[in-house]
Amino acid sequence: MDWFLKFCLLGFILLVSTSSFVTSVNGAISKGSMRNISEINSKGPYLGLVVPNAFEMTPLLQSQSFAADDTHPFLDFSGRRFRIGRIGNEKVIIVMTGLGMLNSGLATELLLSLFEVKAVVHFGIAGNANPHFQIGDVVIPHYSAHTGLWNWQRYGDGPDDELAFEANGDYTRKIGYLKISDYANGTENEKSLDNLLNNVWYQPEEIFPVNGIPEVRQHAFLVPVDKRFYSLAEKLENMTLERCVNSTTCLPRAPMVVRVEKGSSANVLVDNAAYRNFLYSKFNITTIDMESAAVALVCLQQRTPFIIFRSLSDLAGGGSSQSNEADIFAPLAAQNAVDVVLRFIALL
């Protein structure tokens, strides 16, 4: 009898322990988080505001236009803080992504997967590749491109040679390439010297839309913002923006809001005049940043309307060799971006 009781007791302990373990690891979202997410979503849908860094987000949080939700001012999940509140008549969820394509893509995916989000507004600062604009201008690109996905061609091959894995449909020569030897300092008989680094070919991203066939890829290089948002943004072009950092440091002219054709992103901080000029001449790129294209690609896959606002904080290497303009003008640029975003939200 004692043996039987001990056996039953051991079985009960194992059952309870196993049940507790299963409960604790039943998915990545805890019951408490699920309950909070459900309560937050019951008040939706929301406008998602996606911003790369704290100094770009702070002017928004400190603005009198933003009011945090009384019940759920924020929800922390997977290393991100989702701030819930209201700007004017719009219910909003704000998330800071962190630097780079991976961080911004993950944060945007979490935002759209966890919450009832009807559209995304992405904003921040950027380098400027377009000689027609200046620091402080707030730029709204019609298309966003990830210019950091390359096929690096082997030395000896050229534009007429097939790329590795091109025959499988994995890579293409349709978008264009950068010939590195074109940027050599040395010449021989007035011709650029050859370079072992050869050519890099720009590639589209593979995407898997939510309304597509699972595991059947599509490709995207230039991702358009929402047509209605882009049209609405034209009403912002007469805004008055901050021109001066202080009483002695001002921009040559008052910054303006302008819609442009293209912006680009990659996991590269561009502070190089030659590459800046290449992006502008090759692709008609204006803004150079490290996050926008990831946000655009996630929204494209999720079929979520979005728009991008980037305030120009530096010349991406095209300015003075003595200093980087962003050290001086980044705070002004961040504030200008927020001012434009707030005006845009008021138009919705």
Q: 3-class SS at 72?
A: coil
222 contact partners, CB below 8 Å, separation of at least 6: 143, 144, 145, 262
Which pLDDT belongs to residue 319? Answer: 77
Note whether 97 and 196 are same-domain residues: no
Note whether 136 and 278 are same-domain residues: yes
Note whether 143 and 166 are same-domain residues: no
Which pLDDT belongs to residue 326? Answer: 74
Which pLDDT belongs to residue 4? Answer: 46
Query: Which residue type does 240 have?
Result: T
Note whether 139 and 267 are same-domain residues: yes
Which pLDDT belongs to residue 189? Answer: 66
Note whether 335 and 294 are same-domain residues: yes
Q: Is 160 within a domain?
A: yes
Which pLDDT belongs to residue 1? Answer: 45
Note whether 70 and 161 are same-domain residues: no
Any bridge partners for residue 312, and if so which? 126
Structural domain for 226, as ranges: 43-149+215-347
What is the 3 state secondary structure string of 220-234?
ECEEECCHHHHHHHH
Compute the distance between CA of residue 235 and CA of residue 310 in angstroms, rounded to an integer.
17
Q: Is 266 within a domain?
A: yes
Query: Which residue type does 337 have?
Result: A
Q: Is 17 within a domain?
A: yes
Closest to 143 in 3D by CA, of 229, 264, 18:
264
pLDDT values of the chain reduced to their tens digit, one per residue, 348 residues: 454 444 344 343 334 333 333 344 445 688 989 999 999 999 999 999 999 999 999 999 999 999 999 999 999 999 999 999 999 999 999 999 999 999 999 999 999 999 999 999 999 999 999 999 999 999 999 999 999 999 999 999 999 999 999 999 999 999 999 999 999 876 666 666 789 999 999 999 999 999 999 999 999 999 999 999 999 999 999 999 999 999 899 999 999 999 999 999 999 999 999 999 999 999 999 999 999 999 999 999 999 999 999 999 988 888 765 445 778 889 999 999 999 999 999 999
Q: Is 83 within a domain?
A: yes
Q: Is 208 within a domain?
A: no
Q: Is 327 within a domain?
A: yes
- Give Cα 33 distance to the centre of its chain: 26
Compute the distance between CA of residue 316 and CA of residue 142 in angstroms, rounded to an integer.
20
Q: Is 209 within a domain?
A: no
Burial of 132 (0-12, 13-18, 19+ CB in 10 A): exposed
Residues in the chain: 348
Note whether 301 and 248 are same-domain residues: yes
Query: Which residue type does 257 have?
Result: V
Domain count, the chain: 3
Closest to 258 in 3D by CA, of 172, 133, 116:
133
Q: Is 309 within a domain?
A: yes
Catalogue the E-assigned strands of 80-203: 80-87, 90-96, 117-128, 138-146, 150-152, 177-179, 187-188, 191-192, 199-202
Exposure string for 174-195, b = 16+ CB within 10 A, e = fewer: ebebbbbeeeeeeeeeeeeeee
Note whether 109 and 176 are same-domain residues: no
Note whether 68 and 102 are same-domain residues: yes
Residue 261 contacts residue 223 (beta carbons within 8 Å): no
Note whether 256 and 287 are same-domain residues: yes
What pairing do the DSSP bridges indicate for beta strands 191-192 and 199-202? unpaired
Q: Provide the token pair at 102.
A: 């991976």
238 contact partners, CB below 8 Å, separation of at least 6: 257
* Axis-axis angle for helices 100-114, 292-302 (nearest 10): 30
335 contact partners, CB below 8 Å, separation of at least 6: 59, 242
| DSSP, res 165 | T
Per the listing, tokens 């302990």 go with 13
